[in-house]
Amino acid sequence: MKEDEFIREVNEEYRRDRAAEIWKRYSGVFIGIAVLVVLGIGGWRFWQHEQQVQAEAASRRFDEAVRTAKDKGADAAKTFEAVAADAPGGYRVLARLRAAAEAGKVEPAAGAKAYAAIADDNAVGQGLRDVARLRGALLRLDADDPEALNTLQGLATPTNAFRHTAREMLGLSALRKGDFDGAGRWFDQIAADRETPQGLRQRLEVYIALVAGGKVQVSDATPAPQAAPPPPQVTR
């Protein structure tokens, strides 16, 4: 047993000497790593704090812009553009979307252009880019812009979150042009989709009835209205 204790003590002494040697040789490296870790954590916390401060400031500016937008008319878009200029990520995109919406109220083409800039920005999340595509297409739809229809068709795919609105708008556009077959195909897709919102299903009943009615035919053989008979003569 004494021999075992002696060997154990020798081993422990060796490990202590080895550790002291390693520390003496690499102590500067260890201290540097420790300092970097402390500075990294401190910098991360400081960055988080700054982000929170900026987000809170952007939130206040965004809320103020929303409250004053109604009174600014044509200048409302510029108000949100000013917020987007220096707001952090999330509020920057929200302000850009709202600026595009306000611009679209005054000039649809300008609003559609602003939405297109958001849709083409790879730094924006895919969901918000699709929102911009949808809203931009709706602004161009009344002008019979073929690109608007192409955009809506791209959003009408079975996995897209905005397929319900896209299909409804495509169906109504076809209905407005008298393309009852095309409208019916879009409305059929809405009806077959199990995730179609209830409100859209209720409107769908009206759309299907309009498609079923088809075009109203006015016959040339419709008899002209006859003149009213003269009043009876009163004899005395």
Domain ranges of the chain: 71-143, 156-214
The mean pLDDT of 186-206, rounded to a whole number, is 95
The yes-or-no verdict on residue 5 having pLDDT over 90 is: no
The yes-or-no verdict on residue 174 having pLDDT over 80 is: yes
pLDDT of residue 152: 95
The pLDDT tens digits for 136-172 are 999 998 777 889 999 999 999 999 999 999 999 999 9
Single pTM value for the model: 0.67
The yes-or-no verdict on residue 90 having pLDDT over 90 is: no
Place of tokens 């769908």: 204
Q: Give phi and psi for 234, each to the nearest 5.
A: -100, 115
d(CA 216, CA 80): 47
The mean pLDDT of 20-42, rounded to a whole number, is 69
The yes-or-no verdict on residue 3 having pLDDT over 60 is: no
The yes-or-no verdict on residue 108 having pLDDT over 80 is: yes
Of 67-71, 80-84, 158-162, 203-207, which gets the smallest average pLDDT? 67-71
Q: Of 190 and 48, which is predicted with more confidence?
A: 190
pLDDT of residue 13: 62
- Residue 2 banded pLDDT, cuts 50, 70, 90: low
pLDDT of residue 130: 95
Closest CA to 116 of 146, 89, 140, 85: 140
Q: Of 65 and 148, which is predicted with more confidence?
A: 148
pLDDT of residue 217: 47
pLDDT of residue 40: 72
Q: What is the mean pLDDT of the chain?
A: 79
d(CA 119, CA 203): 29
pLDDT of residue 111: 92
- Residue 7 banded pLDDT, cuts 50, 70, 90: low
Q: Of 76 and 178, which is predicted with more confidence?
A: 178
The mean pLDDT of 71-91, rounded to a whole number, is 78
